[in-house]
Amino acid sequence: MLNLKSVTDGFRVIYLGFIQNIAIVLTMVLCVRPPTYQDDQRKTTMALLLYIILIFYHLLMAYVRFVSLYLNESWRNKMTICMMISILLISSICQNWVYLEDIDALTRTDKQR
């Protein structure tokens, strides 16, 4: 059970800390490769684009967290922008990869559509 002091405390889980974001970038670069689809060049290109976006997103979040924690506290009041970027990225991943349109329409709910 989580005891949160404000409604935005949950976002700390989403944008993590400096070290966690660096670890994610290193893991993605060293161990993860985007999928390739032999029969669909568009999907392969989109997977590569998403892979690159995720790497830059985690680098950006690592930079923002480092600067806001150790160098300049002016970024602390701009974390709302980082939260919005996180939500847009998560929504995009869910819309384009988790709930794909070409998957059986019978398994998707109205909310997912």
Q: pLDDT digits over 10-49, tens only?
A: 666 666 778 988 999 999 999 988 888 888 888 888 889 9
Cα 34 from Cα 88, distance rounded (Å): 20
Q: Which pair of structure tokens corresponds to residue 30? A: 């060293």
pLDDT recorded at residue 59: 92
Report the candidate in 34, 55, 38, 39 with the shortest Cα–Cα distance to residue 97.
34
Q: pLDDT digits over 82-105, tens only?
A: 788 888 888 888 777 665 555 555
pLDDT recorded at residue 25: 92
The model scores a pTM over 0.85: no
Residue owning tokens 């919005």? 84
